[in-house]
A and B are shown apart, each in its own frame.
Chain A
Amino acid sequence: MADAYVVEPDVGFINEIKGLGGGDLKKCFQCATCSVACPIAPDNKPFPRKEMIAASWGLKDKLVGNGDIWLCHNCGDCSTLCPRGAKPGDVLSAIRAYAVIEYGPVKAIGKLINNPKMLPVVLGIPAVLFIVIGLITGLLDFTPEGDKIAHGHFFSTWLVDIMMIPAAIWTVANFAIGIKRFLGDMHRNALQDGKTDIQKIDPKGFIMGLVRVILPILKHDKFNECSENKDRATAHMMVLFGFIGLFIVTNIFFVALYGLQLHGPYSQLNPVKWLGNVAGISLIIGSLLMIKNRLAKKEDQVSSYKDWWLIIWALSLGVTGLLAEMTRLAGVAGLSYFIYFVHLMFVWSLFFFIAYSKLAHLVYRTMALGYNEYIGRQ
């Protein structure tokens, strides 16, 4: 038998979880309806009952490194059936937001983007960076010439990449650090709570686990097990595939630009362009659907700042991207350049803040699902 666990409640943690969208967590009276209702909780040590008591006791150490909070897809079955209105789904979501901040190496950034009052700063950072660096390097041309409108004339692709590549590297580095700590914690927690007998993670096995979960993730298998908010799977799928499509397009054009020295804008007949347009539209429709779903579910589901932040960002990204393209084709130069500028701001901040925003679930949930697959927890 393991030694007795010394309970040391952290009231500050409880208050932070409340602020991150888990405001009803103290209403839980431990009936475990949630764990029974959850279609995706494993049979051995199911969630979210145990997470709910840990949260109301402020046991940060039992939650932040707990892989189970990531197995949850916040489908809302538990929240709908909860007899006390404790909204376990939203509490787990808030704990995830806290965990993301916790695993980001620079906590101040996490706090920054989760604070609605700091929104002007979050928006201002890329704008100021772009303008300052653009002016210093001279890569920002406020009087672009040429008959054809090309965004590159106004906003040099060099400048874009000077900004974007470090942001990408930054994010990868952040995630690398975060994942390393997260995996360690998750494994320790699994051992402590008796979720697994495997003492040490075998990297090969773990990676195999990761590979096995990729297809189910893309197919949204877990999402589809939910009954309460099944329609959310469609919206999420559209947004996810929109991002994937845009990621592919960006990479192809990156190669085209630097490898093949082909400068944009590219022809509308180019199939890559088709993919980009379709992905952009998918992103917009997907995020609009998400907004619609959230507004329709005001009673059952908490929509906190962190949730709106990500959806609005995704929507803005798609809208500004498509508008920039459309105004360019329509020949409205000034407006097109301005929208392009806004678009780049959104792209950069999404890039830069991924590891601290709700979008980080892309990485942490994948890791948790992979780990879960690896330890064979059903």
Chain B
Amino acid sequence: MDKKCGVYICEGCGIGDAIDIKDLCAVPEEEGLPVKTHPFLCGKDGLKLIQKDIADGTNTLVIGACSRRVNYDVFKFDGCIVDRVNLREQVVWSHPRSEFPALTEEQKDDDEHFDKLLMLAEDYLKMGMAKVEKIDLPEPHVVDSLSKKILIIGGGVTGMSAALDAAKTGYEVTIIEKEATLGGHAAHWRKQLPPQPPYEELVSPMADSLIRDVEAEDNITVRTETVVARIAGEPGEFVVTLKKPGEKIEFDVPFPLPDEMKVDADGKDLDVDKQHEAYLKFNKGKNDILTIDPDGEMFGAVVLAAGWRPYEPEEGEFAHLGLGELPDVVTNTQFEAIAKKGKITRPSDGREAQSVVFIQSPGNGSDNDFDYAGSVTSMVALKQATYVREDYDEGKAYVFYQHMRTPGLHENFYKSIQQDPGIFLTKGEVVSVSKNGKGLVIEADNTLLGDKIKVKADMVVLGTGMIPATKDDPIINLAYRQGPGFRDNALFNDYADSNFICFPYETQRTGIYAAGGIRRALTVEESMEDASGAALKAIQCIESTNRGVSVHPRSGDMTFPDFFFQRCTQCKRCTEECPFGALDDDEKGTPKPNPTRCRRCGTCMGACPERIIGFADYNIDSIGSMVKSIGVPSEDDYDEPPMRILGLICENDAYPALDIAGLNRLSYSADVRFIPVRCLGSVNVIWIKDALSQGMDGVFLMGCKHGDDYQCHFVKGSELAEIRMKKIGDALQSLALENERVTQFEVSIDEYDKIPQLVNEFVEMVEDIGPNPFKGF
């Protein structure tokens, strides 16, 4: 496209008061670009001004006004390249004239004084102008043969609910279930926790009515005794091979070589070729991931609702609680089965169990609940306590808990159970369960009733947890180079999840949405809510793919990574570092992009040493040009030139935090130039080298927290950036620059108040080191 550029500067919101707009206009004028100002650019007249220019052929706009995070709908012009220069939040609001005074007439032309605020605004305007020159309007990626069908793995409550939700909105759904019948665990319970307000009474399990609904729904196909052999392809055009459980077929997905097979008999690592040989041997009879099953069924998206299985304690694991030794000590799942059969009786002698103790924490000095437990196990204990009371007038049920978790309105359930005079609740650590004549005696410490108490009972029930099916089986069997299952499940206690709070249902694989017990220990009600969420996500995925845009978290982003393959060295870094497994590689190691798996974070772009990956509006050159357009004053300009520091800012949390700092009029150094990046993972080291070699004094990256409780919107981005920054030290030393000049900060969106201090301390630190010797060259 032939670009016709126009620059627009808003004087409102204090911009015109702090900066002499005429001075600022000189920047585009010098480049020969038309510039217009308006006292209220986002108002009707201001917009008219822009629209008139667009009608006259302007198609590339640099708008110097407020942050791009506000008024984004106002300054959106179809068919135009737009860059928003943040003069408000990151210039005038965060750099008051009281701290950064304007120059007097005498000061203007000496070599001693300079207007830091004006310099800041000028640089940002230059950066915007440089950027629009290097970017293009994106064109959507269109898939060849889009399927709008949704595959649901698991025919329990979650799977059936997701299927019904999706089917009712008009999508075709296939449920696969490995067992012979639908219903899952919920079909084998006596009663179910309350699914609706007022959340006080137990109900009959809903599995049966769901099965009837599923059978009556035309859009749903059910295939029982079926599992996934492999899911190949990408969202919108997944090619799925199904099989009977236990069957071995050529389209079973190849598994990565286990670690123990990567070494020879002496324990030394095998070389690459030998490993590949071993890999082929290990996966003998299975087709490579890139071989597409001609008989495979096409699906657009997948809901993973494979559920959970009851925790199976190892032998002697809870010996102090009598499990395995005393037949009347059972798990909650075993107790449910007993209760389903009829009146609660003891496994040992079939006698009535009139008094039952429910234990929620294994104790042994820790106050943790049983592994894989959650609020659901608390509530199941309350539910099962009522069984004892239902069955026997004289029944007594005791619940010993370290945590009684009844979230939200389930507090009503807790309250209603509490009212039963025969149900007794206390916090406390159960120390032992032992035999006492024909019954049991339970000893507990630190209870609400006192330090040490004993209770006699007929039976003991342990509130053991729910193991997600993905713990030791990939289930989804993806034909992805990174492997068939999810990565990093250990971070989420083996659950198939990607981030606890911000992105429910989204897994680390685009187009696969987890719901129900596989995602967390959940109740039926929570699982059904999950099912709706995952079904909606699956639909969103299909429709976004249909429009050629990104699904999430950059919803609607039309760009996708573009590879200049002629220069690819097959180093596989992009394939390996992509947090979403979007890239497969062929035998030679050339990456094969799968654009609809991609989330557009740019981690591949940051990883690529050859710098051959870029997006239409975000690439090595566009950011590099912005860096190069920053003015770096040297001693030739001023006696004591100010420092110039580059801040590469993650636009997910750090950039908004900076805006909030401005909104709160928190001021910080005017020597720093910020460039927003999609994710710290997309930061290519070349930008840092560019900045330093043109004389900038320091560079910092500011992004999300990583580690176990990571907040990175792209899972791995900030972690990878940190690794790359550590490695940059050698390069710095070769330039005889100090390592401290480059650093990385982790901030969360609510830490806006800490940002000024972080920035200022870094600037002071760099000032102490002294100016970059490359300045002025």
Q: Is the CB of B454 closer than 8 A to any CB of chain A? A: yes
Check B451 against A54 for contact (C-beta < 8 Å).
no
**Residues of A contacting B450 in the complex (Cβ-Cβ under 8 angstroms):** 5, 193
8 A Cβ contacts from A48-75 to B? 50, 53-54, 56-59, 62
A202 to B574, CA, bound (A): 86
Check B449 against A54 for contact (C-beta < 8 Å).
yes
- Over the window 90-124 of chain A, the binary record of Cβ atoms lying under 8 Å from chain B Cβ atoms (1 yes, 0 no) is 00000000000000000000000000000000000
Interface residues on A, range: 20 to 34
Q: Is the CB of A218 closer than 8 A to any CB of chain B? A: no
Of the residues B394, B418, B421, B449, contact of A7 by C-beta under 8 Å: B449
Segment of A25-33, A142-150, A157-165, A290-298 in the binding face: A25-33
Name the residue on A nearest B423 (C-beta). A26
A84 to B443, CA, bound (A): 29
A57 to B396, CA, bound (A): 10
Q: Is the CB of B426 closer than 8 A to any CB of chain A? A: yes
Q: Is the CB of A284 closer than 8 A to any CB of chain B? A: no
A57 to B453, CA, bound (A): 13
Q: A53 with B448: in contact, given A6-B454, A7-B455, A14-B421 (CB under 8 Å)?
A: yes
Check B452 against A5 for contact (C-beta < 8 Å).
yes
A274 to B456, CA, bound (A): 64
**Residues of B contacting A378 in the complex (Cβ-Cβ under 8 angstroms):** none
A14 to B396, CA, bound (A): 13
A330 to B443, CA, bound (A): 74
A13 to B452, CA, bound (A): 23
Task: Report the minimal beta-carbon distance from B742 to chain A, rounded to whole angstroms.
Answer: 51
Name the residue on B nearest A54 (C-beta). B449
In the complex, which of the residues A18, A56, A57 has the most CB atoms of chain B within 10 Å of its own CB atom?
A: A57
A53 to B447, CA, bound (A): 10
**Residues of B contacting A27 in the complex (Cβ-Cβ under 8 angstroms):** 415, 418-419
Q: Is the CB of B40 closer than 8 A to any CB of chain A? A: no
In the complex, which of the residues B394, B427, B449 has the most CB atoms of chain A within 10 Å of its own CB atom?
A: B449
Q: Is the CB of B318 closer than 8 A to any CB of chain A? A: no
Name the residue on B nearest A5 (C-beta). B453
**Residues of B contacting A11 in the complex (Cβ-Cβ under 8 angstroms):** 394, 396, 421-422
Of the residues B396, B414, B426, B452, contact of A4 by C-beta under 8 Å: B452
A59 to B426, CA, bound (A): 13
Q: Is the CB of A2 closer than 8 A to any CB of chain B? A: yes
Check B454 against A7 for contact (C-beta < 8 Å).
yes
A27 to B414, CA, bound (A): 10
Of the residues A5, A6, A26, contact of B419 by C-beta under 8 Å: A26
**Residues of A contacting B424 in the complex (Cβ-Cβ under 8 angstroms):** 9, 56-58
Q: Is the CB of A15 closer than 8 A to any CB of chain B? A: yes
Check B426 against A53 for contact (C-beta < 8 Å).
yes
Q: A1 with B422: in contact, given A9-B396, A27-B415 (CB under 8 Å)?
A: no
Count B-side interface residues using an 8 Å CB cutoff.
22
Name the residue on B nearest A52 (C-beta). B448
**Residues of B contacting A193 in the complex (Cβ-Cβ under 8 angstroms):** 450
Q: A4 with B421: in contact, given A11-B396, A30-B448 (CB under 8 Å)?
A: no
A84 to B414, CA, bound (A): 12
**Residues of B contacting A7 in the complex (Cβ-Cβ under 8 angstroms):** 449, 453-455
Name the residue on A nearest B420 (C-beta). A26
**Residues of B contacting A62 in the complex (Cβ-Cβ under 8 angstroms):** 449
A59 to B455, CA, bound (A): 12
**Residues of B contacting A5 in the complex (Cβ-Cβ under 8 angstroms):** 449-450, 452-454
Check B454 against A59 for contact (C-beta < 8 Å).
no
Name the residue on A nearest B415 (C-beta). A27
- Over the window 391-431 of chain B, the binary record of Cβ atoms lying under 8 Å from chain A Cβ atoms (1 yes, 0 no) is 00010100000000000000000110011111010110000
A374 to B450, CA, bound (A): 25
Q: A2 with B452: in contact, given A14-B421, A57-B424 (CB under 8 Å)?
A: yes
Name the residue on A nearest B443 (C-beta). A4
**Residues of B contacting A4 in the complex (Cβ-Cβ under 8 angstroms):** 443, 452-454
Check A26 against B421 for contact (C-beta < 8 Å).
yes
- Over the window 452-463 of chain B, the binary record of Cβ atoms lying under 8 Å from chain A Cβ atoms (1 yes, 0 no) is 111110000000
A193 to B451, CA, bound (A): 10
Check B456 against A57 for contact (C-beta < 8 Å).
no
A271 to B336, CA, bound (A): 79
**Residues of B contacting A59 in the complex (Cβ-Cβ under 8 angstroms):** 449
**Residues of B contacting A54 in the complex (Cβ-Cβ under 8 angstroms):** 449
A53 to B426, CA, bound (A): 8
In the complex, which of the residues B415, B418, B443 has the most CB atoms of chain A within 10 Å of its own CB atom?
A: B418
Name the residue on A nearest B449 (C-beta). A53
**Residues of B contacting A6 in the complex (Cβ-Cβ under 8 angstroms):** 453-456
Name the residue on B nearest A32 (C-beta). B448
A26 to B417, CA, bound (A): 10
A84 to B415, CA, bound (A): 9
A1 to B431, CA, bound (A): 16
Check B456 against A1 for contact (C-beta < 8 Å).
no
Q: A29 with B456: in contact, given A1-B451, A7-B449, A53-B448 (CB under 8 Å)?
A: no
Task: Report the minimal beta-carbon distance from B451 to chain A, rounded to whole angstroms.
Answer: 7
A282 to B380, CA, bound (A): 58
Check A26 against B418 for contact (C-beta < 8 Å).
yes
**Residues of A contacting B420 in the complex (Cβ-Cβ under 8 angstroms):** 26
In the complex, which of the residues B421, B454, B456 has the most CB atoms of chain A within 10 Å of its own CB atom?
A: B421
Task: Report the minimal beta-carbon distance from B445 to chain A, rounded to whole angstroms.
Answer: 9
**Residues of B contacting A30 in the complex (Cβ-Cβ under 8 angstroms):** 426-427, 448
**Residues of A contacting B456 in the complex (Cβ-Cβ under 8 angstroms):** 6, 8
A6 to B449, CA, bound (A): 11
**Residues of B contacting A56 in the complex (Cβ-Cβ under 8 angstroms):** 418, 424
A11 to B418, CA, bound (A): 13
- Over the window 675-710 of chain B, the binary record of Cβ atoms lying under 8 Å from chain A Cβ atoms (1 yes, 0 no) is 000000000000000000000000000000000000
Task: Report the minimal beta-carbon distance from A199 to chain B, rounded to whole angstroms.
Answer: 20
A209 to B259, CA, bound (A): 78
A355 to B394, CA, bound (A): 33
Task: Report the minimal beta-carbon distance from A226 to chain B, rounded to whole angstroms.
Answer: 26
A18 to B415, CA, bound (A): 17
Task: Report the minimal beta-carbon distance from A84 to chain B, rounded to whole angstroms.
Answer: 8
Task: Report the minimal beta-carbon distance from B438 to chain A, rounded to whole angstroms.
Answer: 17
Task: Report the minimal beta-carbon distance from A86 to chain B, rounded to whole angstroms.
Answer: 10
A138 to B121, CA, bound (A): 116
Task: Report the minimal beta-carbon distance from A313 to chain B, rounded to whole angstroms.
Answer: 31
A26 to B426, CA, bound (A): 12
A3 to B441, CA, bound (A): 14
A36 to B451, CA, bound (A): 20
Name the residue on A nearest B419 (C-beta). A26
Task: Report the minimal beta-carbon distance from A8 to chain B, rounded to whole angstroms.
Answer: 8
A56 to B420, CA, bound (A): 10
Name the residue on B nearest A29 (C-beta). B418
Task: Report the minimal beta-carbon distance from B446 to chain A, rounded to whole angstroms.
Answer: 12
**Residues of B contacting A57 in the complex (Cβ-Cβ under 8 angstroms):** 424, 426, 449
Task: Report the minimal beta-carbon distance from A54 to chain B, rounded to whole angstroms.
Answer: 7
**Residues of B contacting A9 in the complex (Cβ-Cβ under 8 angstroms):** 396, 422, 424
Task: Report the minimal beta-carbon distance from A297 to chain B, rounded to whole angstroms.
Answer: 24
A65 to B558, CA, bound (A): 77
**Residues of A contacting B443 in the complex (Cβ-Cβ under 8 angstroms):** 4
A1 to B445, CA, bound (A): 12
A193 to B443, CA, bound (A): 18
Name the residue on B nearest A3 (C-beta). B452
A18 to B451, CA, bound (A): 27
A54 to B453, CA, bound (A): 12
Task: Report the minimal beta-carbon distance from B39 to chain A, rounded to whole angstroms.
Answer: 55
- Over the window 288-331 of chain B, the binary record of Cβ atoms lying under 8 Å from chain A Cβ atoms (1 yes, 0 no) is 00000000000000000000000000000000000000000000
Of the residues B394, B418, B421, B427, contact of A58 by C-beta under 8 Å: B421
**Residues of A contacting B422 in the complex (Cβ-Cβ under 8 angstroms):** 9, 11
Which 3 A-B pairs have CB atoms at the shortest separation, nearest pair first? A4-B452, A14-B421, A4-B454
A-B residue pairs in contact (CB < 8 Å), sample of 6: A5-B449, A5-B454, A11-B421, A26-B419, A26-B420, A50-B449
Binding site for A on B (CB under 8 A): 394, 396, 414-415, 418-422, 424, 426-427, 443, 448-456
Binding site for B on A (CB under 8 A): 1-9, 11, 14-15, 18, 26-27, 29-30, 50, 53-54, 56-59, 62, 84, 193
